A and B are shown apart, each in its own frame.
Chain A
Amino acid sequence: MAGLATTFGSGAMTNSINEIENAEVILVSGSNTTEAHPQVARRMLAAVDRGARLIVIDPRRTRLAEYSHLHLALRPGTDIPLLNAMMRVLLDEGLADDLFIEMRTENFLALRDMLNRLDLTETAELTGVPLPLINQAAQLYGRARKAVICYCLGVTQHVCGTENVQTIANLAMLAGHIEKEDTGVDPLRGQNNVQGACDMGALPNMLPSYQAVANQDYREKFERTWGTRLPEAPGRTLVEMTHGGAQGSIRGMYIMGENPMLSDPTLKKVEETIRGLDFLAVSDIFLTETAQLAQVVFPAACFAEKSGTFTNSERRVQMVRQAVAPPGECRADSEIIMALSGRLGYAMKYDSSAEVMEEIALLSPIYGGMHHDRLDQSWGLQWPCWDRGHAGTPFLHKYYFTRGRGHFMPSNHTEPGELPDREYPLLLMTGRIYHHYHTGTMTRKSERLNRECDHAVLQINPEDAKALGLRQGETVRLLSRRGEITLAASITDQVATGMVYTAFHFREAPINLLTNDAFDVGSGCPEYKVCAVRVAKMMSS
């Protein structure tokens, strides 16, 4: 989310989910929306039924691409040149919103100069998308009165993820498609409370509400309330922690409800790091792959057994209400944390999650008006919500950007960390599928979801399959420089020749054994969307 923070000032959806239904043009990039965000796709299809135009940027012919008016099947990792080309078309056609640029943004000249140096034909060739198609897409987007861009991990999980996002922001600002209802830039968040975890300062460089750890004033504010000195230097990111190696500087870990042993790139390194720790404690609801390596495992209450709040993709903070008592000896994570903290010499005593939220409201300006009694009586509130009298914010950046002026951040093409070569000739992309969620810890326990889908498949183009002599459903070996798994081949023209695709939900085929640990310096996001692999028959060596 570093990309939107630097350009707009807030790394979150600028619109509400329901606004998407009212857009005239919807540009979707790197999002398999029908499978990963069904409710968002529902709005997109409803908009299309009402006459909206849908543009899908995706290397794969996803279901959404089938419904689209324009499908730009770009070569993976060429988002920046594609969007730059679209912007150049906007400039050439006089579709740039000069007034908006003048009044609301800065650094436009840098972008204009960069775009003017662009050779359109060359750029189009680089992306693999025909120039007339780029032209059409740009004109559709540029001429619309209400246009939204939705993007997801297909944009961010690249070495240049931050630049990809900045380029999307550039496009929206150039066309003036921001600040209005039904118009904006919408990153769709993958997990249910990933927005909230970021908001709560579960980040190595940010205290709650995006108040930088490095800033002394912010630190002092927290120190006064928390009654203790806080460390000054920003900490390590997740990938730095899980890829330190057996003798890394991290000696002990506490992991709450996460499963890096399936979710993180280059799993071999993760396993080596975790096995090399002096101590690991995990709290979770099932014995995950990560918990199996722990010294201590705490049985946690699940969402149905505790109360609190989640923040969804559209910044809506909503109540989680306890329905039943936790099974066996399970305890809510808040109780576990308080018990540990007391033992470690820092007493925490909260009688309820509502009391915790009162402290959050006290210290986090964007959550300033979030109180459980208000949230309980409504469908939640969208941040920023400054105080008790504030009704929340359905769409962001009206009148001014969070950071003041929108900042254009021009970028050029960056090659992925690893591209196919003679030895590993295929490009692997990973993602999600409809029936499962993240590492499958919960969904794989569901009888029905497993019946619908209980194994990983490798999507491969008919031509590539033919060259390898593969039959539909045949079990194949998939190899990269980092590891090997076996899984079933699914022969489909959803993927173009030269690329394959699979999901990361399945412990039986842990695709992250293969993925590359190259990552985006700006955000710490691993490059899950591109690495080089080879497919082999089971019998061959």
Chain B
Amino acid sequence: MPHTATTTSSHLLKKDHLKGFLRKLAKEYRLVAPVRNRHSDVLFTVIDDLDAVEIELCEPPQNSLKQFFLPQQEQISTYTITLEGYDFRPTQTHIPPTVYFGVHPCDLSGVLYMDVVFSRQQRDPFYLRRRQGSVLIGVNCNSPAPNCFCNATGSGPFLEMGSDLQLTDLGDRFLVEAGRTSGHALIERWQGFFSPSADKDRAAHYQTFLEARGRFSRQVHVEQAIRRLEAGTVPDEVFAELSLRCQDCGGCAYLCPTCTCFTISDQQLDATSGQRLRSWDACTFAGFTGMAGGHNPVQAKTGAIRQRFIHKLRDDVRLNGRPSCVGCGRCVSICFGGTDIVRFVERACQGSL
């Protein structure tokens, strides 16, 4: 456990006062939080009426924050066709400053990864205009869900960096850590809601972490799979076997908080105008690598999932020092063919088939 570092200060927020605190935030920010709707699904939702929703902090939401910063489909410009050619006008979008509340460590890690992707070399204005001005309030995971394996990817169950405020559920109260200046400012601004934490609260926090760490129902050997990929000892048959079972839905990439591939396409609206759209894409689709003339460097049948796992577990480790799988478990058990990353790691670690 990266135990409470000296740079972070910790406070207490009584659960009774959480709603009051959120109500204050909602006056100045758009508020997004995981909401359990009347169909019992949990989704990150824009909250208009705090009294009309049930915020769910335990069951992980089915969507990640990706769709808020990189929407599934986004108009990035419109164009008119003139005698001189195409005249493009970038689409102006006003994104209100937003508080994302109740973000689990995996999703927080996902946002931090996207920050790197969209500002490493070229700064992506469409991503950044949605990301700038956002406040992330995380909540640590006391009871990981059955498919979770963030303990194996170094992205949970507790985080103490990356968010503006990080909450830990201690029963009747939250321990609140402020990792950034913006977080300190929030506590400063509404200090009436917070009280100083004592040693016993920090001890309870540590105890909670230890218990959470023991609650994972899966042991996924991500580290070992990474080593084998780096050493080139994962047999081709593993990729081929899993690719053959891939049913080409794209669901793993679309649900993944760190899959950031997109495609840009133009759509003509009438004879003289159109729009340019950016939309999610998936490396498992044959058309993702299809070339003009019909050639495809990726053998769809036996190589469909190769890129996905190599990128997440080998190439991103080379580039960033850590895998871009955050262990959220969203792709696990949703796969039509059962070819999710956990199965890949298992097969890769088995070595030969």
Contact of B120 with A by CB under 8 A:
no
Whose C-beta in chain A lies nearest to the C-beta of B339? Answer: A45
Q: Is the CB of B336 within 8 A of A42?
A: yes
Q: Which of B244, B248, B267, B336 contacts A447 (CB 8 A)?
A: B267
Q: Is the CB of B287 within 8 A of A452?
A: yes
Interface 1/0 per residue, A291-302 and B, CB below 8 Å: 000000000000
Whose C-beta in chain A lies nearest to the C-beta of B244? Answer: A66
Q: Is the CB of B337 within 8 A of A434?
A: no
Q: Which of B39, B244, B287 contacts A451 (CB 8 A)?
A: B287
Q: Is the CB of B248 within 8 A of A434?
A: yes
- What band does the interface of chain A fall in when counting residues whose beta carbon is under 8 Å from B? 10 to 19
Q: Is the CB of B249 within 8 A of A38?
A: yes
Q: Is the CB of A452 within 8 A of B286?
A: yes
For B85, what are the chain A residues with a Cβ–Cβ distance below 8 Å?
A: none
For A67, what are the chain B residues with a Cβ–Cβ distance below 8 Å?
A: 245
Q: Which of A49, A66, A377, A434 contacts B338 (CB 8 A)?
A: A49
Whose C-beta in chain B lies nearest to the C-beta of A447? Answer: B265
Of the candidates B38, B249, B290, B336, the one having the most CB atoms from chain A within 10 angstroms of its own CB is B336
Interface 1/0 per residue, B115-158 and A, CB below 8 Å: 00000000000000000000000000000000000000000000
Q: Is the CB of A41 within 8 A of B247?
A: yes
For A377, what are the chain B residues with a Cβ–Cβ distance below 8 Å?
A: 38
The total of chain B residues at the interface (CB under 8 A) is: 21
Contact of B294 with A by CB under 8 A:
yes
Interface 1/0 per residue, A62-106 and B, CB below 8 Å: 000011000000000000000000000000000000000000000
Contact of A221 with B by CB under 8 A:
no
Q: Is the CB of B336 within 8 A of A38?
A: yes
Contact of A46 with B by CB under 8 A:
yes
Q: How far is the CB of A249 from chain B (nearest CB, A)?
A: 43
**Docked complex: B38-94 residues within 8 A CB-CB of A:** 38-39
For B294, what are the chain A residues with a Cβ–Cβ distance below 8 Å?
A: 473
For B244, what are the chain A residues with a Cβ–Cβ distance below 8 Å?
A: 66
Q: Is the CB of A45 within 8 A of B245?
A: yes
Q: Is the CB of B336 within 8 A of A41?
A: yes
Contact of B8 with A by CB under 8 A:
no
Q: How far is the CB of B14 from chain A (nearest CB, A)?
A: 34
Contact of A523 with B by CB under 8 A:
no
Q: Which of A41, A448, A473 contacts B279 (CB 8 A)?
A: A448
A451–B215 CA distance with the chains assembled, in angstroms: 44
Contact of A34 with B by CB under 8 A:
yes
**Docked complex: A375-396 residues within 8 A CB-CB of B:** 377, 379
Q: How far is the CB of A487 from chain B (nearest CB, A)?
A: 14
Whose C-beta in chain B lies nearest to the C-beta of A42? Answer: B336
For B39, what are the chain A residues with a Cβ–Cβ distance below 8 Å?
A: 379
Q: How far is the CB of B290 from chain A (nearest CB, A)?
A: 7
For B247, what are the chain A residues with a Cβ–Cβ distance below 8 Å?
A: 34, 38, 41-42, 434
A39–B281 CA distance with the chains assembled, in angstroms: 21
For A434, what are the chain B residues with a Cβ–Cβ distance below 8 Å?
A: 247-248
Contact of B216 with A by CB under 8 A:
no
Contact of B193 with A by CB under 8 A:
no
For B338, what are the chain A residues with a Cβ–Cβ distance below 8 Å?
A: 45-46, 49
Q: How far is the CB of A265 from chain B (nearest CB, A)?
A: 30
Contact of B285 with A by CB under 8 A:
yes
For A45, what are the chain B residues with a Cβ–Cβ distance below 8 Å?
A: 245, 336-338
Interface 1/0 per residue, A96-123 and B, CB below 8 Å: 0000000000000000000000000000
Whose C-beta in chain B lies nearest to the C-beta of A66? Answer: B244
Whose C-beta in chain B lies nearest to the C-beta of A34? Answer: B247
Interface 1/0 per residue, A355-377 and B, CB below 8 Å: 00000000000000000000001
A377–B38 CA distance with the chains assembled, in angstroms: 8
For A34, what are the chain B residues with a Cβ–Cβ distance below 8 Å?
A: 247, 336
A434–B279 CA distance with the chains assembled, in angstroms: 21
For B245, what are the chain A residues with a Cβ–Cβ distance below 8 Å?
A: 45, 67
For A451, what are the chain B residues with a Cβ–Cβ distance below 8 Å?
A: 263, 285, 287, 290
A256–B263 CA distance with the chains assembled, in angstroms: 35
Whose C-beta in chain B lies nearest to the C-beta of A378? Answer: B39
For B337, what are the chain A residues with a Cβ–Cβ distance below 8 Å?
A: 42, 45
Q: How far is the CB of B288 from chain A (nearest CB, A)?
A: 9
Q: What would 14 more interface pairs be, CB under 8 Å, given A45-B337, A46-B338, A448-B279?
A: A34-B247, A38-B247, A39-B336, A42-B247, A42-B336, A42-B337, A45-B245, A45-B336, A45-B338, A49-B338, A379-B39, A434-B247, A447-B267, A447-B279
Closest 9 CB pairs of A and B: A451-B287, A42-B336, A452-B287, A447-B265, A38-B336, A49-B338, A45-B337, A452-B285, A34-B247
B residues within 8 Å of A by Cβ?
A: 38-39, 244-245, 247-249, 263, 265, 267, 277, 279, 281, 285-287, 290, 294, 336-338
12 interchain pairs, CB-CB under 8 A: A38-B247, A38-B249, A41-B247, A42-B336, A42-B337, A46-B338, A49-B338, A66-B244, A447-B277, A448-B287, A451-B290, A452-B285
